[in-house]
Structure 1
C-alpha cells in the first residue's frame, strides 16, 4: 500500500511522517524492553524446506536488534523440545555475542510435536521480567507428534485442543503468539487459530530466505510504538510536494506532523 501525501508549505517547515503501530501496548511513547521466545520447528522436514539452516541465521540476526534490557530465549521442537538458549537478558555487546554463539544449526530430525515446543516456550516467557512478551512460532508442517498415526480420532482431537489451549495461555496473559509458516503450510487454518487464540498474527514465509524479514517485522510490531517512517524535508513558502512511500503492514494509523 502506497499512500500519497500532498504537502503545502506556508512558512519553511520540516515535514516528518510518523506511523503509529498497532501493538498490545499501544499508547507508550517509544521503544520499550521486550521478552521474546523463538519456538523453532526442527523436525525432519526442515531438511527439505530449510536445508541451509537459515532459521538459525534469522534468529541470530534478530539478536542484533535487541537493546540492553531485552530478553530472548530460543526453543527447538521435533519429537520433543529442547532449550537452545534459556531466557537471557541483553546487557551489552558481549551478551549478544554469547547468545549468537549458541545459535549454531542443529540437524533436523523427527516429528512435529507442537505441544512440546509451546509448553517450553510458554515456560521460558514466564521467567521474563518485561511486561511486553511474545512468542514467534515457526513451523513448516502440520501437527504430528510421535505416534500420531496410531492415535484415535478422539486422541488426535484432544492433542489439537491441548495445543490451542497453550496458545490461549499466551493470549490470556496478553503476551502474543505469532505463528510463522515456512513454505506451503499444510494446515494454515490451524496456525491461524493459534494466532487468534494467542492474541498475535499469522505470517507466511514462502521460502527460508524470507525468515529474517518476517522475524524482524514481528519484532518491530511488538518493540516499537512510534517510529519515524521515511522522510524529513524542508519546503519553501508556497511550495507543494507529493510524497509516495510504503506503509508497513503492521501500521494502523498514519499521522503527519509539520
Structure 2
C-alpha cells in the first residue's frame, strides 16, 4: 500500500474535466428547455465522467504509475469495455436520480400553481404601448400555461381593480373567456400607484386560497410610483410570494430602480424591456423558470437563500464525486483506486457544490465560469487523492499451463473481485 501520484493522470484528468464541461454546456444550453431536467442533468454528469475517465485511462496507458504494468499489459481491453457503462451510464443514473430529489418541494416549499398578472393601465401607456402589446403578451402567456395552473389579472393606474378573479386554465374555453375580458379593457389617463396594485393582488391571493397554494406575481409598468410600498413588500416576503417585475420603456430611472427593488426583495427578477413587442418573450421566460430548479443552475425565488437546498446541492455533488471516483476504480479494475478516487470525489464534490451554490447568479457567462471551476476542482481532487489514501497496483496475473512455475499461486491482486490466491484471475 503506497501513497503516490501520477502527475500525467492529474493533468489529463483536468483536460478531461474541461472537455466534459464544454460538451455539458452545449447539452445544458440546447436541451434544458425541451428535455426533462433529470435527463439533462444526468447526461451532463455522465459526459463529464466519461471524458475524465477516457483521459485518465489514456494517462495510465502512457505512464502506469498507479495501476501498474501488469494491468497495462493484460487488461486494457477490459478497461475500454468497462469505460462507457462505468462512467456515462452510471453517472447518468446517479445524476438523474439526484436531480429528481433536488427538484422535490421539501421543507414547506410550495410549487407555483397560481399566477397574478398586475398590469399598468395608466395614461402614459398610450405612448409606451400604443398597440397594447402587453395585453397580447398576457393572452399568449395564458394560452401556454399548463392545465393545472390558475391565473388572475389586476389592472391599475392611480386606482386598482380585479379584472379577472382566479380561474383555472385547463380548457381553451376558459382561456377564451379571459381573452375576452382582456380585450374589453378601456384605456385611462390615470397615474401610477404600485401600493394599490400590490394590495389588490395580495387581497385576491388571500381571499381565494388563504395562501395555501404556491403563487407568483408578474408586475408590469412603465412608470414610477410615489406611494410607499414597504409594508406591501413585507407582506409578500412573509408569505414567500415572488414578484417578477417588467419595466416597459421606463424613462424615469427611479421607476426601474423601484421595480428592481421589488423583485430583489421578494426573490424575483427584474426585466427591462425597451420595445413593447418584447414583453411576450419576457413573460414566456418568466413562466419557463417556474420551479425550474436544477443542480447546475441558480436557485431563484423563495428558495434562493434556503439552507436546506444549499446542503442538498452540496450533498448531491459529494455523491456525484463519489460515483465518478468509484467509476474510475471500476475502469481500472482496482478496488484500492476505487476507494482512493471515491474519497477524493466526495471531497471534490463538496467543494464543487459549495462553489456552485455561492457562485451561480443567473448570468450565462459567469454561471458557465463557475461550472467550469467546479468541474476542474472535482477532477483535480480526485487525481490528487492517491497522495492521501494509499493504493496498491492491480497485480493480477495470467496463468500459463495452470499457474506460476514452481509455485502454483499468484501474488495478491488488487482487482475488484478481491481474489488473492487464484493465479488464473484476470482481475474480476
Normalising by structure 1, report the TM-score: 0.70
Measure how far apart 1:177 and its partner are.
Answer: 0.9
Structure 2 counterpart of 1:131, from 204, 213, 216: 213
SS in 1 for 2:103: coil
Query: Which residue of structure 2 aligns with residue 143 of structure 1?
Result: 225
Mapped contact 1:132–1:222 kept (Cα < 8 A): no
Mapped contact 1:167–1:177 kept (Cα < 8 A): no
Distance in 1 separating the partners of 2:235 and 2:118: 15
Residues 57-68 of structure 1 correspond to what in structure 2 (within 5 A)?
57-68=136-147
Query: Which residue of structure 1 aligns with residue 37 of structure 2?
Result: none
Query: Which residue of structure 1 aligns with residue 270 of structure 2?
Result: 202
Query: Which residue of structure 1 aligns with residue 242 of structure 2?
Result: 176
- Report 1 or 2 for greater relative contact order, CA contacts < 8 Å, sequence distance ≥ 6: 1
Measure how far apart 1:81 and its partner are.
Answer: 0.9
Query: Which residue of structure 1 aligns with residue 135 of structure 2?
Result: 56
Distance in 2 separating the partners of 1:69 and 1:76: 24
Distance in 2 separating the partners of 1:134 and 1:173: 11
Mapped contact 2:160–2:197 kept (Cα < 8 A): yes
Residues 22-33 of structure 1 correspond to what in structure 2 (within 5 A)?
27-28=103-104
Distance in 1 separating the partners of 2:186 and 2:104: 38
SS in 2 for 1:141: coil
2:124 is equivalent to residue 45 of structure 1: yes
Inter-CA distance 123–98: structure 2 relative to 1 (3 Å threshold): same
Query: Which residue of structure 2 aligns with residue 218 of structure 1?
Result: 286
Structure 1, unaligned runs of 5 or more? 145-158, 227-247
Query: Which residue of structure 2 aligns with residue 90 of structure 1?
Result: 169
Distance in 2 separating the partners of 1:130 and 1:203: 28
2:193 is equivalent to residue 113 of structure 1: yes
Structure 2, unaligned runs of 5 or more? 1-20, 25-46, 55-82, 106-110, 295-360, 376-428
Q: Higher strand proportion, which one? A: 1
Mapped contact 2:112–2:290 kept (Cα < 8 A): no
Distance in 1 separating the partners of 2:363 and 2:149: 21
Inter-CA distance 175–109: structure 2 relative to 1 (3 Å threshold): same
* Larger gyration radius, structure 1 or structure 2: 2
SS in 2 for 1:63: helix
Distance in 1 separating the partners of 2:278 and 2:230: 26
Mapped contact 1:35–1:130 kept (Cα < 8 A): no
Inter-CA distance 42–73: structure 2 relative to 1 (3 Å threshold): same
Aligned-pair RMSD on alpha carbons? 3.5
SS in 1 for 2:163: strand
Mapped contact 1:164–1:193 kept (Cα < 8 A): no
Deviations 1:142-186 (A, max 9, x none): 114xxxxxxxxxxxxxx32xx122122112111101121111352
Query: Which residue of structure 2 aligns with residue 164 of structure 1?
Result: 230
Q: What is the number of equivalent residue pairs in this alignment?
A: 214
